[in-house]
Structure 1
Amino acid sequence: INIFTRLNKDILLSLKISLMQSSIVSISDNLNENKDITIHFNHKCQKNEQENILTIREIKNIEEKTGVVERQYQAKEYVNKSNAIYFPVNIFSFESIYFLRNIRMANKEEKLVKYLQIFDENIKDVEEINGEILIKSLDFNQKVPLKIFGYGFIKFFNYICALVSNEANYILIDEIENGLHYKTTKKLIESLIELSRKNNIQMFISTHSLEFLSSVEKVANEKEFKDLGVFNIYRYKENVYCKHYQSEQLKDLLNNGIELRR
């Protein structure tokens, strides 16, 4: 959330954001004393519409001041090449059909299938019928719904759809290691690096897995991928800190047992 405002004095702003989305809020009014501002705005994520709440509160001498001013703001469009795509931990709440339609309109089906075959070589085709994604695979006698596949493949499918569709400059993935088998992790990382390079997409990935970080380091080294940064975010007492490591430092950190998951 980017906040633009004109203030008559320096104050501490405490932001409480209910959902981590990308929007710009412009406040041109001068803030009076003893006033908090609460901004309610609707955020449309494909078929689902959610309400986000942003509170700007002045804190002085550790005492909260009273008074609330409410205004309505309209969120920016969710999917735009200048914006970001966010993958939550619960991947089933993410609908990739929008990206599949764009892939088919751009005649990129073969490219999509090629990357899906990295995960499962029996995949032959993907299509949409009556709003449902169907997969053609040698493992079945007929096309079957995506939802009957394993959690790991569904995650892989959604990530690859978004990258091949090339609809955003930024992709954010929360706890990527959940549901992934260690044998498929390397294939996923290779695909993410290759597609993000080709489409000039910057990726932000959170993880608690040392195994995943180790796989990232090995693949990045094999692919000579230097555009990688690791951020260790941790809480100490009442504060949150962040340490930034360059890609060439990651191997040494892992080999020396430095804790990166605090």
Structure 2
Amino acid sequence: MAFYKFFKIVNFKNFKELEVQDFGRINLIVGKNNSGKTALLEALFIHSGAYNPELVVRTYEFRGMNLLSPISIKKSLEFLFYNFDTTRPVELIGKVQTSKGEKHSKIKLEILREDERLKEVSSITFFRQDTPQAPILLGEIQSGLATVFQLSHEEGGEVKKYNLIITANSINLNPPFPAPPFEAIFLPARGSVPLTFEADLFSRLRLENLHEKIISFLKIIEPNLKNIEVLTFGGLPILYGDVGLRTPLPLALLGEGLVKLSKILISIGVAKDGVVLIDEIENGFHYSVMKNVWKAIAKMARECNVQVFASTHSFECIINAHEAFIEEEQYDLKLFRLERIGENIVVIDYDKETLDEAIKANFEVR
């Protein structure tokens, strides 16, 4: 299991420095535009990956930026740093409760410029020495023509370093990074999860007999839904839903709300004992079903022992979340509002009592 208790961000995007603590099972992140809601989710996603510097690039893809060339990736790295100050490293520090106890880990992200550190990187064997790429890449690192973006992971006094090396024509990861300590899935506000990928995730849940639970929750959106199955469309596997018509239909044709909730619940099922991060969770849902959507998310997260982080702009979404958890046996919702004060962003947290008071008094908590 993995359960974030504390998280600190330094020099990352909107954040000069930010500390958040006392997370719950379900965590709702709110705040005005450009307050850093998505950036907080991205920081958690990068930290959860532990050893993979390529996750930084993936966060730009979540925002709809298709970084197709090494040059565009190199340029995007500058945007990672607060005020574009690449002389100071990004630091992501987390305290995570696991089945083996509490773990403290720190990730540092930086662009290497010092000759000594570049020599240290170039001394590592990237390819078999008999390949033509090796001397070319080593020469570009030593001469400063290559950009070396380094992720260092510190835990229990041990530091391990992983490099993303970008030249004019290539992108290289070295050394190979291990699997992350726990599963983390990010559902972006823009774009969509490929249908074939969603079908693959559902197939994994089918093997664990979690599919029936997901189908029962999806009836919140489509009461006529009888079954979901993986069928081929144009030679590719995608999800189909049986709603009592002559033939099953691709899930994508049964409405945005059904597709959105299926992605969330499938992700929670696959990320068992891990983390799911959802940007702009309200998108695709009619307000009238939002309370039951929250109940479904809460039940699925508890059953799969998953911690959920979600951002929203919607006051109705906040109210529905609060009311949904009040009606549950366990109120395990926390709300965190990000607020910009001058150059800094601060976090204000709400538990059951303070959120209830704020909603009744019509205070602005978004």
Note whether the superposition's TM-score is higher than 0.5. Answer: yes
Residue 189 of structure 2 aligns with which residue?
89
Separation in structure 2 between the aligned mates of residue 40 and residue 185 of structure 1, nearest angstrom = 34
Query: Which has the bigger relative contact order, CA under 8 A and spacing at least 6?
Result: 2
Please list the CA deviations of residues 132-163 of structure 1 after superposition, one character each: whole Å capped at 9, or x if unmatched.
2111112x210111111211111011112122
More helix as a share of residues: 2
On the 8 A contact 2:201/2:267 being kept in 1, the answer is yes
For structure 2, the residue ranges without an aligned partner over 5 or more in a row are 1-9, 15-38, 68-72, 89-111, 119-147, 150-162, 165-172
Choose the corresponding residue for 1:98, options 200, 210, 230: 200
* Pairs aligned (count): 227
Residue 93 of structure 2 aligns with which residue?
none
Choose the corresponding residue for 1:134, options 207, 231, 240: 240
1:220 aligns with 2:320: no
Choose the corresponding residue for 1:58, options 68, 72, 87: 87
Residue 336 of structure 2 aligns with which residue?
231
Separation in structure 1 between the aligned mates of residue 193 and residue 344 of structure 2, nearest angstrom = 32
On the 8 A contact 1:232/1:244 being kept in 2, the answer is yes
Separation in structure 2 between the aligned mates of residue 242 and residue 41 of structure 1, nearest angstrom = 25
Of the structure 1 ranges 220-229 and 191-200, higher mean CA displacement relative to structure 2 is found in 220-229
Please list the CA deviations of residues 49-99 of structure 1 after superposition, one character each: whole Å capped at 9, or x if unmatched.
97684667336xxxxxx9576253448678x67131111113623542222
Q: How much does 1:109 deviate?
A: 2.8
For structure 1, the residue ranges without an aligned partner over 5 or more in a row are 1-12, 27-38, 60-65
Distance 1:137 1:172, change over 3 A: same
On the 8 A contact 2:51/2:177 being kept in 1, the answer is no
Separation in structure 2 between the aligned mates of residue 41 and residue 159 of structure 1, nearest angstrom = 20
Kindly report the root-mean-square deviation, in angstroms, between the aligned alpha carbons of the 2 structures: 3.3
Residue 121 of structure 2 aligns with which residue?
none
Q: How much does 1:180 deviate?
A: 0.9
Question: TM-score scaled to structure 1, two decimals?
Answer: 0.74
On the 8 A contact 1:185/1:212 being kept in 2, the answer is yes
On the 8 A contact 2:275/2:308 being kept in 1, the answer is yes
1:113 aligns with 2:215: yes
Residue 351 of structure 2 aligns with which residue?
246
* Letter in structure 2 aligned against 1:115: F
Question: TM-score scaled to structure 2, two decimals?
Answer: 0.54
On the 8 A contact 2:272/2:306 being kept in 1, the answer is no
* Letter in structure 2 aligned against 1:189: W
On the 8 A contact 1:84/1:168 being kept in 2, the answer is no
Once the two structures are aligned, what percentage of the paired residues are identical? 23
Distance 1:228 1:42, change over 3 A: closer
State the secondary structure of the residue aligned to 1:205.
strand
Separation in structure 2 between the aligned mates of residue 167 and residue 40 of structure 1, nearest angstrom = 23
* Letter in structure 2 aligned against 1:231: F
On the 8 A contact 2:229/2:241 being kept in 1, the answer is yes
Residue 8 of structure 1 aligns with which residue?
none
